[in-house]
Structure 1
């Protein structure tokens, strides 16, 4: 059985390189990628300890979407395919009780007029260890932009990212309230 291992490995690698060569088509895109970014009202996440008010000392966890990058590829009449990379910054406040926290965020495909065509939710975990601040990047692939035909450009669409928030968290963001790290001094 071991005699055939090199032959099997060569066949597997040959199949991978053929598939990879097909994916790395260097033909320029037929048009621009959709605009991508975070939605202002949902780009920040602040979780307070229940029932104690919106004080700095009551913050459990925070999060912020710091950057969004979109990569797309046109394939003739096939829908536009995109991948998005989202950078997060996370914080652990004075009222936090654990060294990890799960954050839920969404990626939505919209028309330029704001109509949501598709929306999917994802979870990411922050691990704070000894620090109070951490960050990470998440990569979401296989985002399909539904073009009616190949004459429709990606510029007619947007890809929006944001945290899933409670009504109270959304109101906090909309009120413009902010906490700075030195606010307790």
Structure 2
């Protein structure tokens, strides 16, 4: 079910972020430029935030945890007919609501590689464990996916033929909540 949701979302609008070369990914000669551009990268709009409620009901006082993807960067390296090697940095903002039971929480997010505007080629789920500082209900965190390899048929296939999509691994109810445009953002205390 969730893979079908991701495939449907793959054609949705992306929140695109920075893309550049990153020479630290491979032993390839640093003086050799990439074969072409890096894949497009972005968070899927409908999956870039999550609201978890403690029990039934979508009241503000029932919020346990929230999360939002605030930025995505992809660095890549490829020459000749080598596969594309990519590193991804994902920036998050996390919130702890009134119904939270702990100062730690684990979220899950996906990284999906697609052919541009086509089906998902590969998808992987990654956990991110968050510890809220004492007395704080909002925190930020960066997660780095150190190495993603995107195979190419030959040297004529550039990174422009691929997209890398990031989002929270949502339940159907959480996805419906986001698609309806509802959202709760927890604010820092002033």
- Taking structure 2 as the reference length, the TM-score comes to 0.81
**Which protein is richer in helix relative to its size?**
1
Q: Distance in 2 between matches of 1:116 and 1:134?
A: 31
Match 1:133 to one of 131, 138, 156: 138
Task: Give CA-to-partner distance per residue, 1:113-144, whole Å, 9 cap, x none.
Answer: 23100111110011112200001111112211
Distance 2:95 2:184 in 1: 12
Q: CA deviation at 1:181?
A: 4.2
Q: Does 1:118 align with 2:118?
A: no
Question: Which of residues 29, 33, 47 in structure 1 aligns to 2:34?
Answer: 29
1:165 equivalent to 2:185? Answer: no
Q: Which residues of 2 match residues 83-162 of structure 1 at below 5 A?
A: 83-130=87-134, 131-162=136-167
The aligned residue for residue 42 of structure 1 is 47
Q: Aligned ranges for residues 41-60 of structure 1 at < 5 Å?
A: 41-51=46-56, 53-60=57-64
Q: What secondary structure, in the 3-state scheme, does the structure 1 residue paired with 2:101 have?
A: coil
Question: Residues 62 and 21 (structure 1 numbering): CA distance in 2 closer, same or farther, change over 3 Å?
Answer: closer
TM-score by length of 1: 0.83
Partner SS for 1:75: coil
How well do the aligned residues superpose, as a CA RMSD in angstroms?
A: 1.9
